[in-house]
Amino acid sequence: MPPPSGPAPSQYSPIDAVKYGWEKFTQNLGPLLGLTAIILVIGICLNMVINLAFTGSVLGSSASTVDPETGLPDNFLQAQLASITSSFVTGFISWALGLALVRGALDIVDRGRTSFGEMFSRIPWGQAIIAGLLVWLATTVGIVLCVIPGIIVMFLLYYTNIAVVDGRSATDAMGASFTFVKDHLAENLLFLLVAIGLIILAICTCGIGMLVVTPVLAVAQAYTWRVLQGRAVA
């Protein structure tokens, strides 16, 4: 793939990253909006199906009697199993589709466009799975240790997926993310604050705003990854 022909921005701003994300989102509306809608709809539908299968209710809270010995609803174990199963299945599928969104975001910053089919190509699934497991393990250990270490780990490894899709091995991607965030700590903290603000606004729209915020932030993240490395964007 030829490198972008445009000059690399001389100065980074998280607001510019989001503006760039919005501009490219409107130019690639079909594939970005379509994939994001699939991610959200699949998550909701799978939760309902799994809850229905385990508890007889799409909400996982069907009416039941209380066991006098334990004080818990009769379907307590089924509800807990449904919750665990739902979290695992929807989490894995959302992660896989999220990698496709990352692929599309990188294509956009490199050549200005993507397509639905291209977003599912050139993804090193083996390395991505290894990286995902390692990041999950590191984050879980951090959360068990006292929550805050887990949050720090998530922040430092935030760019692992984008590094894997960009062609690095699982361990190299984790190291690249750690180094990238450490070397550009102020810029990434500002980007994180802007992203959190947009996510909160999207949640206030009953989640509908996530259809826009999710792909815009994906492109903005890819823009940040490229620009702070001194590379040009399309």
Do the domain assignments include residue 3? no
Residue 132, domain extent: 14-227
Over the stretch 79-126, which tens digit does the pLDDT of each residue have? 677 777 777 888 888 899 999 999 999 999 999 999 999 999 999 999
Looking at residue 2, its pLDDT comes to 46
Q: What is the mean pLDDT of the chain?
A: 86
Q: Give the pLDDT band of residue 211 (cuts 50, 70, 90).
A: very high
Residue 229 has pLDDT above 80, yes or no: yes
Do the domain assignments include residue 62? yes
Opening angle at CA 76, ends 72 and 80, nearest 5: 140
Over the stretch 44-78, which tens digit does the pLDDT of each residue have? 777 777 767 666 665 655 545 555 555 555 566 76
Residue 233 has pLDDT above 50, yes or no: yes
Residue 166 has pLDDT above 50, yes or no: yes
Give how far Cα 123 sits from Cα of 36, 52, 186, Å. 18, 34, 30
Residue 171 has pLDDT above 90, yes or no: yes
Do the domain assignments include residue 5? no
Phi, psi of 228 (to 5 degrees): -70, -15
Domain count, the chain: 1
Count CB-CB contacts under 10 A for residue 201: 11
How many whole angstroms separate alpha carbon 213 and alpha carbon 199?
7
Give rounded-to-5 percent helix, strand, coil for the chain. Answer: 70, 0, 25
Do the domain assignments include residue 75? yes
Q: Which of 5-14, 33-42, 43-52, 54-63 has the highest mean pLDDT?
A: 33-42
Do the domain assignments include residue 6? no
The answer to whether the Cα torsion of 58, 61, 64, 69 is positive or negative is positive
**Confidence (pTM):** 0.84
Give how far Cα 74 sits from Cα of 23, 55, 64, 66, 157, Å. 52, 10, 6, 6, 41
Do the domain assignments include residue 92? yes
Do the domain assignments include residue 65? yes
